[in-house]
Amino acid sequence: MDIHLRQWRRPVLLGALLVLSGLLDGCASSRLIKNPPPPTETSVGWAASAPEGLTVEVHELIFRNSGGSWIRDANWDEYVLTITNDSQEAFEIQGIGLTSDRLPAPVENTTSREQLDARSNRTLRTLKDAGIVAGVGVVAPSAVIVAAIGTSGGMLSASSGAAAVATVGILAIPIGLIGGTSYVISRHRRDSKDKVLVDRRLSERGYGIPTQIAPQTQMTKSAFFPITPAPTRLVINYARAGGVRELSLELPGLAGLHLNAPKAKAPQTASAGLSGPVTTP
């Protein structure tokens, strides 16, 4: 009888684990937002032109978890730019950058999710420790969580796990640990799928570098930057007729972006020289 019980315990346990994993897999929802809300900042009206006929306009601003954001907790700032070429010659956009007094060097546009993640997390750690950045935390990928917890949960090894099940019985298995581990695995699987979708979306929406702007045409796409606090200027590096030039656009309305709000001073109460309790007639 004991041998018979041992034979069916393992398949029942594995079956229950598969069912639980399937249920939890549905809980691991995608970070991509199916119907993003409209952007909060549209047609901000910032534009700059070069004498050769190149114009850049900030069309929309999309920041982490703000209007227009198509993914939760994005590790980037998205600037939707319209670049117009009114000349009779083609321009080649060789770089799009942001400058900020809070950073030692300008940050460059990229459609690489890995670079955006790494640069944003590095910047946020540095500035958060200094108490500068507000409202944007570091997003840890699920791969880090999987590495920390382990994909097996320490309970389904070939020898010790089976022996524990046979000795203690199914009811003694920590169901919470099984469920937690299953969720982490499903979360990791979901994140892996999301990475493919995000890479595709970044490539479709973003300016690849270099980018050709044909004569008498305009292009509206997004420049993706690592999360950048208090940017001051947007810089377009372009080539025309063998020479490399720079078009600079001031960003006057973003001086407080991603920064901690200044602390309000507590009102001071004047003592007026009173030495005793105040009484009213």
Task: Extract the runs of DSSP E, i.e. beta strands, from the chain.
Answer: 41-42, 47-49, 54-62, 77-85, 91-100, 107-108, 211-213, 217-225, 231-240, 243-250
| Gap between the Cα atoms of 132 and 194, Å rounded | 30
Residues of the chain with pLDDT under 50: 5, 24-25, 137-173, 269-281
- pLDDT (0 to 100) of residue 260: 78
- Residues spanned by the domain of 177: 2-254
For residue 206, is it within any domain? yes
Would you say residue 227 lies in a domain? yes
Residue 44 lies in a domain: yes
> What's the pLDDT score for residue 273?
41
pLDDT at position 272 is 39
Q: Residue with structure tokens 């099940």?
A: 165
Q: Give yes or no for a contact between 266 and 111, defined as CB atoms under 8 angstroms apart.
A: no
Question: Residue 141's pLDDT is what?
Answer: 39
> 135 lies in a domain?
yes
Report the SS3 class of residue 93: strand
Distance, CA of 270 to chain centre: 48
- Say if pTM beats, i.e. exceeds, 0.75: no
Give the pLDDT confidence score for residue 7 in this predicted structure.
57
| Angle (nearest 5°) at CA 228 between 227 and 229 | 120
pLDDT digits (tens, 9 = 90+) for 13-70: 555 555 555 554 455 688 899 888 887 766 677 999 999 999 999 989 999 998 899 9
- CA 123/CA 210 separation, integer angstroms: 26
Q: Is residue 262 part of a domain?
A: no
202-208 CB contacts, 8 Å cutoff, 24+ apart: 202/111, 202/112, 202/113, 202/116, 203/111, 205/78, 206/109, 206/111, 207/81, 207/93, 207/96, 207/109, 207/111, 208/111
Encoded tokens for 268: 């001071």
Q: Does 271 map to a domain?
A: no
pLDDT of residue 162: 42
Residue 272 lies in a domain: no
Query: Is 270 part of any domain?
Result: no
- The DSSP code for 64 is T
Domain count, the chain: 1
